[in-house]
Structure 1
Amino acid sequence: MTALRTLRADLAAAAPQMYDDLAELVGVESPSSDVHALARCADVVAALGARSLGAAPERIVIGDRPHLRWRFGAAPARVVLVGHYDTVWPLGTLARWPFAIDGDRATGPGVVDMKGGLVVLFHALAAIGDLDGVTVLVNADEELGSPTSTALIEDTARGAAGALVLEGSSHGRLKTARKGIAHYSVRITGRASHAGNAPHRGVNAGVELAHQVLRIAALGDPGRGTTVTPTNSVAGTTSNTVPAAARLSVDVRSFEQAELQRVDAALRGLTPVLPGAQVDVEPGPARPALPASASAELFALAQRLFEELTGAPAVGEAVGGGSDGNLTAGVGVRTLDGLGAIGGNAHAEGEWIQLSSLPERAALVGALAARIGRER
């Protein structure tokens, strides 16, 4: 039996403990917006990591949010494993939708995004034993765009030979490319007036908003995979007043950094259509693209290892959603994403994972972590 198949057998034997650990993690709610809930979940993640890795983490609190980091060996790391424990689910969700197992399927809030990935991460490293050069970073605000942890992720990953991101996987596919993301807030200032007695004296921010929505939507380029999506908007205060103000959120995504820069320049250059209106554009959270070139070498390594582990080919995909893998790739680190549990319905009712995928994915992650930085 090869070392890889021994690794897989060891992790298959650990499957019952993996299921117990998953139940424990999902059983502690951790919505991104609740710092007290995050602190409670951080304690559980830290304890699981300590049991698995034989060491307690650094607890790095930024803006009241506790991020956890384990470092083995001198910096920079040989390989960085990245995960998050915050979820999109509000407190109280467990009361109506508790963690449950039905055959090979487990459901519960955050089970695939990404508490299952944390179970894979810790068991993978526990199984390989030799952690020299390994760093683990688990953050508390990925679902918000990692506003407090971006610099921490970039500084931790910088100089590493590779980064493995434990986001969930649809149909077992690895994430080989992700679109870059940029968010904007467009604020429109008009002038209020009575809608019945003097509408002509007003400057209708709602009408200006309509003009700008059409302009903004036209900035997308489907042929290049660039999407520019006006999302939530609001205008006005009462039904009989010309709106004095309006606001619009814009979501921009592209695989090409040059496209993100093109759209950024166009948004910043927006001018009003109505006389007397004012348009201000404020950039928000952003992540660079994770290009296929950043994952190519690690994906090739994963294909070889997966073939030996399972006898089946590994499949990759490019996706529009972002992750912290965008950040590690953005600082020049080879990055492979989608290494967490296989499942689906992330961010939606009925979120689930395939339990039998946990030991299989852990074997792949462990094999990668053992080899990255040592390939030659």
Structure 2
Amino acid sequence: MALIVAHCRPGFETECAAELEAMAQAWDTELTTEIPALGGLVFGRGNVRALAEQMDVKLLVFTRQWFLALEEVELDPKNRVDGILKALGRSSGAALFIESSDSEPGRELQALCRSITAPLEQALKKAGMLREGDASQKGSDQRLHVLFLDGSHALVGYAPIARSHSEPMGIRRLRMPKDAPSRSTLKLEEALQEFIPRDQWPHRLKPRMRAVDLGACPGGWTYQMVQLGIHVTAVDHGQIDPRLMATGQVEHRALDGFLFKPERRVDWLLCDMVEKPMRVAQLLAKWLQNNWCREAIINLKLPMKKRFEELERCLDTIEKPMLDRNISFELQVKHLYYDREEVTLHIRVLGQG
């Protein structure tokens, strides 16, 4: 009964399914998708074991987390642990995620997930199926997953640690800084954690670098750069939070972000403007073609219909000029937890090929 289980934001199941189907087609692998009524999930059926050998959450936009489910098990509410162990069979792993969907019915199961964690971990360790931190043992490169569909039904399986998300359900839960000027700051904080490996921060996000933040006001994204010691040119006709201006790291330019041109190449371009996604994609393409920045993080506000298709068009607008000019780059796109109707894109220019 094996199937691919993909977590996504509720309301984006259609885009998640389309992405999985496109991936399978590119790999010439059979896959049909199903959207369960629970919300926030997509199931993939077909040659799923072959797909599981290649799938990488970093290459998927709308899929937050995934795993290969081995079985759907009906559980006795009086003894769920034994039912889960039996369903896992001989599977083992170096970690365990107990999850539900990121939907209203799923959130109602979070208390159950928390309550069963300790006894299930203890039982798995006793059975030799959970070997935390032991890289020499079988299954040390994978994680066990239990997804509750309701109080008496769960999907159980596993995912490769290196190609799945490091957090349950693919959600990084961040704390809102008390002095940040807007909640949009969490979007950039999550993007930095998602896209930039922590061991590379010292040379890619180091103090005294220079950034441009287009559509900056009131300064949620500028705030994150300031916290890292980076100097920011904040471009917006609105008002920047006075506390950011008081740091001496921010220069406010009351200009249209689409018309602004930097005086010299900057380390980072940021853009969270509420605009049509194609217009923002064309703006980023202009910055890249003119060699105005080394790295960029932007948000693309997707339309209500044909989101997947519109995103494909935007990515082609950004990538094609770079490929035509033989410029090497790294591109990552993700529908992050703190995004809503937008997706976040990161691009890093590596040099002329």
* TM-score category of the 2 structures, normalised to the smaller one: under 0.3
Normalization by structure 1: what TM-score?
0.25
Over alpha carbons, which structure has the higher Rg?
A: 1
Higher helix share: 1
